[in-house]
Amino acid sequence: MSNAEALNDNKNDEDEYKEKTLNLFDNDNFVLNNSDEEEYASNSYDNIEDDDDEEEVDNDEEGLEDPPSSDNMSYDDLASQHEDDKYNEEETFNEDDNYNEENKYNDDEGSDEGYMKKIDGKSLGLTKRMKKIYINKKENIYHNQIGVYKNDKLMKNEDIEDRMKYLLILLNDTKKNNIKIERSTIINELLFYYTYYYEYSKEMIKYLYYIFDIKELYLFLEINNMPKEIHLRTNTLKITRNNLMKILKNQNVSVQEGESWNHVGITIKDVNTNVGSLNEYLYGYYIIQSSSSLMPVLELNIQEDDMVLDMCAAPGGKCTFMCTLKKNRGVVYANDINKLRCKAIEAHASRMGINNLIVTCIDALKIQKHLTFQFDKILLDAPCSGTGVVNKNKTARRKTIKEIRDLAQKQKILLNNAINLLKNGGIVVYSTCSISVEENEQVINYILKKRDVNLLPTNINIGDPGITQYRKKQFSSKISLCKRIYLHKHNHDNFFIAKLIKRSDAVFTNKDKNSNEKKKNKDKGKKKKKKMIIVIIYHKQI
């Protein structure tokens, strides 16, 4: 058998496994009842005696520290230009798509940063009751209870928490053949609990399962279900970070300075602190802004004489940061489609003492009809599904695939418009607070084919590389230069960042772009060859 045939066989096996798991999930008959402890444990507590003196296991989970709407955007008239690149529903979301089981469940899972090493009896924070079961591992542990509960009482949340954590342990045991339960059965039950406990739609949980393996998905859901730390950005036009921290400490506010790359950030540890009501906020000394949202602005490397545009600027944190980086000199354009949000931007600018900001209220899908000049730097923080900020916006937990696709179509048009407004040699940074591939890598892959642009590496060494292969889709290898930032891995809000440089105004079909690249490479080769010949002849003459 050839290597290619062997690979195809492996992919077929992976597809069958994935199909089996998701078919179980689609057709599950789970009944979320059985909080009665005796019946709940009837098959699992045989011969286990209570030990009141047993040391309680720490229930704290190690390492888990304590978008504007676009519905009114008209785009039908512009979307027709991109008809050739619309998503094929069967291709993108077919349940038979490739699934790399080997990558999802390798033995050194999570060894890179150590964040997955939390999946064990202690760090999962099991209660004493569940710890006993773990210690007394039997082959029939929960075997008769996987997926079915017979009691009429609803399970309590703490029982569901224990159950999820224990099932994650069972996955490791099945991998080592210590326990004879189908992995797909355990995964199916975990997906069910993820849906119920974290209040996601079934469609959204299935979607996330294609991005994360079942264990990492637990960490993602868990940390994004917790209260978040509050982050401030110091307004350096009015005060230094050190002085602001001293003032806040004097008011008994628990503060911590940002990371080495973040010279203006402050973290408020107490999530109950009402930082919006402090006098210092009214004085314009700071703005409430996550550290992740500073990264796209820093990637632009804004200079004082740059013409800069924030294309979808509300609520104003990023554009006001641009103004402070320019030290209130030159000009920054902040655009948004919504008049009320534009007024909010103006209010922030007034409070913070900013006077180099021009606010425009234009539909960004048609912005090039109104702005006839070009910019050195453009930030497109695109309207998105918000699937990366589900702790703030719980409605994002029930986004549909259709909504994600519709947003992705708008995002392509917005990014294409941004490139039209950019000078040759100018920089555009594209960012979202979504984790969907369709709104991120797929948009960038599209624009790399359509426009004469190059992806640039980011300057901040935080985050995972962009996804280059997603189900049946293979993206350009350059997509790895994008950055994915995850709260459960990097301790920053979930975010996507891509940095592009414009080479020319050219617009390509796929064939045009490929042939143009080949021609450039060929011409470079010829030039190098000619130089070598000239050098050789010159030496001969000497």
> What amino acid positions are annotated as catalytic residues?
433
DSSP for 272-303, please give it. T--GGGSHHHHTTSEEE--SGGGHHHHHT---
SS3 category, 17: helix
Q: What phi, psi does 108 have (nearest 5°)? A: -100, 40
336 in a labelled binding site: yes
User: Is 71 marked as binding a ligand?
Assistant: no
Q: Is 347 annotated for ligand binding?
A: no
Phi-psi sector, 77: left (phi>0), alpha (psi -120 to 50), beta: alpha
CA distance 133 to 116: 22
Complete DSSP assignment for 422-488 = EEEEEEEEEEES---TTTTHHHHHHHHHHEEEEEE--SS--SEEPPSEETTEE--GGGGGSEEE-HH
- Evaluate whether 429 touches 293 at the Cβ level (below 8 Å): no
Two tokens, residue 439:
């709104």
Tokens at residue 435, please? 């984790």
Among the residues of 224-275, which ranges form H helices? 241-250
Annotated ligand binding at 406? The verdict is no
Annotated binding residue at 86?
no
Helix, strand, or coil (residue 415)? helix
**Contact (Cβ atoms closer than 8 angstroms) between residue 483 and residue 466:** yes
Task: Tell me if 312 is assigned to a ligand binding site.
Answer: yes
Residues 6+ apart with CB under 8 A from 70: 383, 407, 410
Torsion angle, alpha carbons of 325, 328, 330, 336, to 10? 80
Whether residue 383 is preceded by a cis peptide bond, meaning omega within 30 degrees of 0, is: no
The binding site for S-adenosyl-L-methionine comprises 312-318, 336, 363, 381
The binding site comprises 312-318, 336, 363, 381
